[in-house]
Amino acid sequence: MPLLRGKTIANLFFEASTRTRTTFELAAKRLSADVLNISISTSAAVKGESLLDMLRNLEAMQCDMFVVRHSESGAAHFIATHVAPHVSVINAGDGCHAHPTQAMLDMFTIRRHKKDFSDLRVAIVGDIKHSRVARSQIHALTTLGVAEVRVIAPKTLIPRQVQSLGVHVFHKMEEGLRDVDVVIMLRLQNERMQGAYLPGYHEYFQLFGLTSEKLSLAKPDAIVMHPGPINRGVEIDSAVADGKQSVILEQVANGIAVRMAIMSMALGRTPDAAASTKRERLL
Amino acid sequence: MNIYIKGGRVIDPANNVDKVTDLFIREDKIISLDKAPNGFQAELTIDANNCVVCPGLVDMRARLREPGLENKGTIESETLAAAHGGVTTLCTPPDTDPIIDTPAVVDLIRHRVAEVGKCKVITLGALTVGLQGSQLSEIDHLKKAGCVGVTNAYCYISSAGVMRRAMEYVASLDMTLYIHAEDKELSENGCVHEGEISTRLGLAGIPECAETIAVSRDLMLIEKTGVRAHFCQLSTEQAVKMVARAQHDGLPVTADVTAHQLHLTEMDIGYFNSLCHVSPPLRNHRDLDGLRDAVGRGVVSAICSDHQPHDVDAKLAPFAQTESGISSIETLLPLALRLVDEKGLSLSDIIAKLTCGPANILGINAGTLGVSSPADVCVFDPESYWNVTEETFYSHGKNSPFIGWELKGQVTHTILDGEVVFQLKN
């Protein structure tokens, strides 16, 4: 679908990422855009070039879109407020703040399985405090009007006043998973074992790891999701990750389609729009 | 210069004066209130009709950035900004570059102020060498060089043992210790208040207990050592309550708050507004009300600007990477005055927090219009509205979240030692 032929998209990855970068790249290429992959840790940032200077340079090279992944919360917003108005900016994950395209592909995946959002109970399990994915999912789910969003984690991994985001807090899987329609597991970063957030992997898996036994508390047709990459035996048991309720690989596949849609819409080139400009030309 | 300030509402809380009258200045001294002394010939007459005439403001904490960070501000630019804000005396903390831990740096600042300064500048010395929190500075040398007190500024002394010895030593020199209470173990790498906004934006939060635990530890040590101590820029309701209790128990402690903490909360950060990145962080409404209450009840005896001018680049980055601080000396007076309307405090009460309150804490001869005191005077129109824009700032730093606000109360004249150092252009 050559909707973005002649457009240049720069993938600005200030932070390591395999999955997100690859799916963005694939999505852009399937739309026939020219793609520039820039990993900043190996680029000018280490030479002391300021973020803004770098953006000005890329702007001057006639880029139409920046896909930004950054370790600081608010980085994509900062970039969007300082680039020229014709440049689109897509947030591919900023610090602990947001990962909107991930949340959108998750919603797409849920919709394919569950149709109506208004009756759904969704549990998000794991490191809510440091998770941009969880924040964007909560934002999306509450916007779509689900019946209930639950977050399940020990207090160390629950951010202060998280209730203000519209969620219910649980500290026990056995209580939080009861009768839910969707279980979203979050990746546990290695760093959390330092700094007194958690005592160790073994205890974490026992308390918060998703096993078939714990999953049986959810609705029989509940689906299991994970933004990847998975830590098998830490947050999720392999039997569940590869089991029939898991839609984890489907999420990855949907990621490409959803990102294609987001990119073409942001650049104003949806199939409908393309068709109508073609019609206008014919007339 | 001989100046006749005519028909203003003279408010001098140090002497319980609040009446419409005349003020007379001869050379660098105030010589009379009400009646012209015999043979007085005015070289300048200021018509202060509808204006307030009060002592020049005393700002307990303002950074001039010189020496070391002249790209952000200089003694010349920032003392001019002070004069524009009605401030005639300011106190600068030791976190310059080089740090004020030797008399040489105190002398450097004094000489520079004598050359280009538009207000009086007093200094606090570093409590520990290089503000490292271990080895004490030569505090008596700093005192003799002119430092009115010592502080470790933003560098928290994590060792209670060092803090105890430091307090004992400072107490034996009869000096005041200025404390910025924030336990860095608890604030970690936080940049905003830990609460709704930190959760929403995914920014690392600083919990209230980073302040309250530090205050409570230091209150215990103050009780033990008997040192005279001052808590700088308290930000939480609980901390001011603890200070109130300590004052009630007779401990020699005082406290100040910054003007912006009385008007902004974490909500003003909105969506990553880096102009609201300050230390201590903007907290929630309950804290704001608690601080306002403490001002009203006199627990807090000074309101300061905590002026921190920055270059443009300092605020141009993702939120957590921006530098903290507000360029605030030119909005100090109008922000404090807002409490008259919003909190029902008297004009005289508010002016006390900006003049004799801080002067008493600092132990300096300022903040009064008493006969034969230095002729440092601020004349302002309390009913004049003005729009805060970058252009209204004399400071090099335009980093203010109040840009775009309409404020009430505008300085018309600032007089320093009998010379007009600022006059509002019409």
Q: Where are the domains of chain A?
A: 2-95, 100-250
pLDDT exceeds 70 at position A53:
yes
* Residues B29, B415: Cα–Cα separation, whole Å: 11
- pLDDT score recorded for residue A277: 60
Let me know the angle formed at the C-alpha of A248 by A247 and A251, rounded to the nearest 5 degrees. Answer: 90
Q: What share of chain A in percent tops pLDDT 70?
A: 92
Closest approach of B55 to chain A, Cα-based (Å): 43
Strands A168-170 and A148-152, bridge-based pairing: parallel
Q: Per mean pLDDT, which range of A261-275, B68-82, B112-126, B262-276 is the poorest?
A: A261-275
Given a cut of 90, whether residue A146 has pLDDT beyond it is yes
Give the pLDDT of residue A191.
76
Which residue is closest to A157 within chain B, CA to CA? B199
Residue of B nearest to A95 (CA): B202
Give the residue numbers of B marked as catalytic: 306
Residues of chain A contacting B272 with CB distance shorter than 8 Å: 73-74, 77-78
* CA B341 to the chain's CA centroid: 21
Q: Given pLDDT bands bounded at 50, 70 and 90, which one contains residue B183?
A: very high
Structure tokens at A220: 């029989």
In which residue are the tokens 């010592």 written? Answer: B150
Q: CA-CA distances (angstroms) from residue A275 to A1, A34, A271, B203, B384?
A: 12, 22, 6, 43, 60
CA distance A86 to A141: 30
Mean pLDDT across the stretch A244-268?
Answer: 94
Cα B121 from Cα B124, distance rounded (Å): 10
Of B199, B204, B319, the CB nearest to A164: B199
- Contact criterion met (CB below 8 Å) for A208 and A234: no
Distance from the A77 Cα atom to the nearest Cα atom in chain B, whole angstroms: 8
Alpha helices (runs of H) in B117-259, residue ranges in sequence order: 139-145, 160-172, 184-187, 196-201, 209-225, 237-248
Range B213-229 average pLDDT: 97
Please list the active-site residues of A.
19-20, 47, 69, 99
State the DSSP code for B203. Answer: P
- Residue A18: predicted pLDDT: 79
Q: Quote the CATH superfamily of domain A100-250.
A: Aspartate/ornithine carbamoyltransferase (3.40.50.1370)
Candidates B194, B202, B207; nearest CB to A96: B202
Instruction: Tell me, yes or no, if B323 comes closer than 8 A to chain A by beta carbon.
Output: no
Of A51, A132, A160, the CB nearest to B317: A51
Q: Name the residue facing A70 among B201, B204, B318 (closest C-beta).
A: B318
Cα separation, A245 vs A230, in Å, equals 16
CB of B202 within 8 Å of a chain A CB? The answer is yes
Domain range B55-362, CATH class: alpha beta
What pLDDT is attached to residue A281? 56
- DSSP percent split of chain B into helix, strand, coil, nearest 5: 35, 25, 40
> b/e per residue, B358-395, with b = 16+ CB within 10 A?
bbbbbeeebbbbbeebbbbbbbbbbebebebeeebbbb
Q: Which residues of B touch A70 (CB under 8 A)?
A: 318
Average pLDDT along chain A: 90
Question: How close, in Å, is residue A68 to chain B by CA atoms?
Answer: 13
* Residue ranges of E strands in chain A: 8-13, 34-39, 65-70, 88-94, 121-125, 148-152, 168-170, 182-185, 223-225
| Å between A65 CA and nearest CA of chain B | 19
What average pLDDT score do residues A70-94 get? Answer: 93
**From CA B259, how far away is CA A69, in angstroms rounded?**
37
Nearest to B272 among A78, A96, A159 (CB): A78
Range with the poorest average pLDDT among A37-51, B167-181, B373-387: A37-51
* Per-residue model confidence (pLDDT) at position A276: 65
Instruction: Using an 8 Å CB-CB cutoff, list chain B residues near A95.
Output: 202-203, 318, 320
**ipTM reported for the complex, 2 dp:** 0.91
Does any CB of chain B come closer than 8 Å to the CB of residue A99? no
Predicted pLDDT at A273? 64
Start-end of H helices in A179-229:
201-208, 212-215
Of A47-56, A204-213, A215-224, where does mean pLDDT reach its minimum? A47-56
- A19 versus B320: the higher-pLDDT residue is B320
pLDDT of the residue at A222: 97
Among B132, B153, B125, B152, smallest CA distance to B280 is for: B153
Task: Say how many CB pairs under 8 Å bridge A and B.
Answer: 68
Tally Cβ neighbours within 10 Å of residue B350. 25
Quickly name the fold that domain A2-95 has: Rossmann fold (3.40.50)
Contact list, B321 vs chain A (CB under 8 Å): 72
Alpha-helix residue ranges (DSSP H) falling in B61-183: 75-84, 103-116, 139-145, 160-172
How many Cβ atoms sit within 10 Å of the Cβ of residue B49? 11
**Beta-bridge mates of residue B303:** B257
Which of the pair, A43 or B406, is modelled with greater confidence? B406
Task: For chain A, report the end-to-end CA distance as a whole number of angstroms.
Answer: 23
By the 8 A CB rule, do A189 and A229 touch?
A: no
Angle, vertex CA B296, rays to CA B292 and CA B300, nearest 5:
80
CA distance B69 to B76: 13
Residue B214 identity: A
- Of A170, A177, A171, the closest CA to residue A214 belongs to A177
pLDDT level of residue A55 (50, 70, 90 thresholds): confident
Residue A49: band (very low, low, confident or very high) from pLDDT cuts 50, 70, 90:
low
Q: Does A15 touch chain B (CB under 8 A)?
A: no
Mean pLDDT, rounded, for B24-46: 94
- Whole-angstrom Cα distance, residue B21 to residue A185? 74
Rounded CA gap, B249 and B263, in Å?
A: 30
Residues of B numbered 265-284 whose beta carbons fall under 8 angstroms of chain A's beta carbons: which are they?
271-272
For residue A22, CA distances in Å to A25, A36, A138, B289 come to 5, 12, 25, 50
Cα–Cα distance measured from residue B35 to residue B55, given in angstroms and rounded to the nearest whole number: 18
pLDDT for residue B150: 97
Q: CA torsion sign, B50 to B56 to B60 to B65?
A: positive
Structure tokens at B253: 């402690």
Measure the CA–CA gap between A258 and A102, rounded to whole angstroms.
9
Nearest chain A Cα distance for residue B288, angstroms: 18
Give me the amino acid identity at B278.
V
B239-263: pLDDT as tens digits: 999 999 999 999 999 999 999 999 9
Q: Is B321 on the interface with A (CB under 8 A)?
A: yes
Locus of tokens 């880029």: A63
Measured between beta carbons, the chain B residues lying within 8 angstroms of A52 are: 316
Residues in chain A with CB shorter than 8 Å from the CB of B271 are 74, 77
How far is Cα of residue A51 from the mean position of the Cα atoms in its chain?
23
Q: Rounded to whole angstroms, how far apart are CA atoms A206 and A215?
A: 13
> How do residues B317-326 score in pLDDT, each as one tens digit?
999 999 999 9
Helices (H), A98-190: 100-114, 132-143, 173-176
Residues in B closer than 8 angstroms to A75, CB to CB, are 318
Q: Record the pTM.
A: 0.93
Which of A108, A93, A95, A146 shows the shortest CA–CA distance to A124?
A: A146
> Which positions ≥6 away from B426 have C-beta within 8 Å?
none
What is the mean predicted confidence (pLDDT) over B86-109? 97
Residue from B317, B318, B347, B362 nearest B409 by CA:
B347
Query: CA–CA separation, B242 vs B294, rounded Å?
Result: 11
Neighbouring C-alpha atoms within 13 Å toward the C-beta of A36: 16
Phi, psi of B261 (to 5 degrees): -70, -15
Q: How many angstroms separate the CA atoms of A213 and A216, rounded? A: 5
Q: How far, in Å, CA of A173 to CA of B334, rounded?
A: 54
Check: CB of residue B386 under 8 Å from CB of residue B412: no
**What is the percent of chain B where pLDDT is above 90?**
98
Which residues 6+ apart lie within 8 Å of B296 measured at CB? Answer: B339, B343, B345, B349
Average pLDDT over residues A224-238: 94
pLDDT tens for residues B257-278?
A: 999 999 999 999 999 999 999 9
The reply to whether A100-250 shares the fold of A2-95 is yes
> CA-CA distance, B210 to B232, in Å (whole number)?
14
Inter-chain residue contact B200 with A135, CB threshold 8 Å: yes
The confidence score (pLDDT) of residue A282 equals 57
| pLDDT score at A204 | 94
Residue A14 above 60 pLDDT?
yes
Contact flag B272-A77 (C-beta cutoff 8 Å): yes
User: Phi and psi dihedrals of A164, rounded to 5?
Assistant: -65, -15
A89: left (phi over 0), alpha (psi -120 to 50) or beta: beta
Q: How large a percentage of chain B has pLDDT more than 70?
A: 100
- Environment class of residue B251 by beta-carbon count within 10 Å: exposed (0-12), middle (13-18) or buried (19+)? middle
